């Protein structure tokens, strides 16, 4: 009997590929992602993996060729396919922005009226311009959008930005954010019961991995007369674990802290007399 498998579409080669593959592997799903593979099956989870161009993923998912997929929010927004966003994945972060040459006297978005804007995102851009009552000419090009003003093809561009260095080296200035994006897990809307059960199992693991990435395990030694003050800084999952050290008057404290608060808390812990602070990354965290 054929086992039911959930079909997932990942980007074949590009900015989201390595992180997408790593995410599944950190979820304990083993598979061969050798070069040039178009399709593979997971060894220890009912999952079939397709490697595709990112732009095609929403269509494959909405058509039911794949059940779920990982793409940038920018791609889903542009292709306007009938897919559901299930989960933000925390990588592939970027923004779709409007940018103009440094010589462009840009004051407000109204300055884009009657201008030519080059982009690979005509649908997202035309919605944004309509919402802002701007009438501009959209020139759709598929790559190297940033060179369009320099060669006289456009007055402005609408392109993805992460560090901003591409815009900078092309003499462009970012003036409006059209869309904020990161990699997301998408699904078709009508998964049957069996596939939904597999997806729920995958989501359970994804959430454990995401929670773990946002937290650190911390161990430290504290003088007993400072225990109360130190444990107050460390909420932990329920509360911190406190164990006596072999040396009298000292305890070992174990806890979990959020990576955003990490440095600030470590400084406060040291100020309160904590010693031997160890910080470990967590693989999975199930609350
Ligand atoms: O071959 P395929 O069609 O699958 O890949 P692709 O070439 O269309 O996409 P790819 O691999 O470049 O990007 C995949 C996804 O990564 C995008 O859809 C975004 O969701 C996300 N992402 C995150 C980015 C960037 N950051 C990014 N910086 N995609 C593209 N860029 C480009 C941008 O277009 C510009 O040319 O990088 C340049 C700007 O980078 P900075 O750092 O100089 O600002
Ligand atoms: Zn693409």
Task: For residue range 2-46, list pLDDT tens digits in order.
Answer: 789 999 999 999 999 999 999 999 999 999 987 788 999 999 999
Under DSSP, is residue 34 helix (H, G, I), strand (E, B) or coil? coil
115/109 Cα distance (integer angstroms): 11
CA angle (17 as vertex; 16, 23 as ends), nearest 5: 90
CATH of 6-91+183-212 among 3.40.50.620, 3.30.460.10, 3.40.190.10, 3.10.20.30: 3.40.190.10
DSSP codes, 95-159: EEEEEEETTS---SGGGGTT-EEEES-HHHHHHHHHHTT---EEEE-SS-GGGTTTTTS-SEEEE
Average pLDDT value over all residues in the chain: 95
How buried is residue 20: exposed, middle or buried, by Cβ count under 10 Å (0-12/13-18/19+)? buried
pLDDT digits 0-9 by tens, 204-249: 999 999 999 999 999 999 999 999 999 999 977 788 999 999 999 9
Q: How far apart are CA 204 and CA 18, in angstroms?
A: 21
Does 6-91+183-212 match 94-181 in CATH topology?
yes
Q: Which residue has a Cα nearest atom 14 of ligand 1?
A: 15
Ligand 1 pocket mutation pick from 54, 142, 163, 185 by most atoms within 8 angstroms of CB: 54
Residue 159 alpha carbon, nearest atom of ligand 1: 34
Query: CB of 11 closer than 6 A to ligand 1?
Result: yes
**Span 137-179, pLDDT tens digits:** 999 999 999 999 999 999 999 999 999 999 999 999 999 999 9
Look at strands 215-223 and 94-101 and give their pairing.
Answer: unpaired
Q: Is the CB of 133 under 6 A from ligand 1?
A: no
- Distance from the CA of 6 to the center of ligand 2, in angstroms? 24
pTM above 0.95?
no
Spans of all domains in the chain = 6-91+183-212, 94-181, 214-280
State the pLDDT confidence band at 277, using cuts at 50, 70 and 90. very high
The residue nearest atom 9 of ligand 1, judged by CA position, is: 14
Calpha distance 265→172 (Å, rounded) = 40
Q: Which pLDDT belongs to residue 1? A: 59
Question: For residues 162 and 166, what is the distance between their CA atoms, to the nearest angstrom?
Answer: 9
CATH 3.30.70.120 fits 214-280, yes or no: yes
pLDDT (average), residues 114-130? 98
Quick one: which ligand is closest to 53's CA? 1
Which atom in ligand 1 lies closest to the alpha carbon of residue 15? 11
Domain over 94-181 is classified CATH 3.40.190.10: yes
């Amino acid at each position: 009997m054929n086992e039911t498998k959930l079909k997932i579409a990942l980007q074949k080669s590009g900015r989201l590929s390595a992180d997408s593959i790593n995410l599944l592997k950190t979820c304990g799903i083993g598979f061969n992602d050798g070069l040039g593979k178009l399709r593979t099956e997971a060894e220890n989870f009912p999952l079939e993996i397709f490697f595709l161009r990112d732009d095609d993923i929403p269509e494959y998912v909405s058509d039911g060729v794949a059940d779920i997929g990982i793409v940038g929010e920018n791609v889903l927004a542009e292709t306007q396919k009938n897919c559901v966003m299930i989960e933000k994945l925390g990588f592939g972060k970027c923004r779709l922005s409007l940018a103009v040459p440094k010589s462009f006297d840009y004051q407000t978005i109204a300055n884009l009226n009657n201008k030519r804007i080059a982009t690979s995102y005509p649908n997202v851009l035309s919605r944004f311009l309509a919402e802002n009552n701007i009438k501009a000419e959209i020139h759709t090009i598929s790559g190297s959008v940033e060179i369009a003003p320099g060669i006289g093809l456009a007055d402005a561009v609408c392109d993805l930005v992460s560090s901003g260095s591409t815009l900078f080296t092309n003499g462009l200035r970012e003036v409006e954010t059209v869309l904020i994006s990161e990699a997301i897990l998408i699904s078709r809307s009508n998964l049957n019961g069996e596939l939904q059960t597999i997806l729920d199992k995958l989501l359970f693991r994804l959430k454990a991995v995401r929670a773990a990435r946002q937290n650190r395990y911390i161990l430290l030694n504290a003088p007993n007369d400072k225990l109360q003050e130190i444990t107050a800084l460390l909420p932990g999952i329920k509360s911190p674990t406190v164990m006596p050290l072999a040396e009298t008057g000292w305890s070992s404290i174990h806890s979990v802290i959020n990576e955003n608060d990490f440095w600030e808390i470590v400084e406060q812990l040291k100020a309160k007399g904590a010693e031997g602070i160890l910080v470990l990354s967590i693989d999975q965290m199930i609350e």
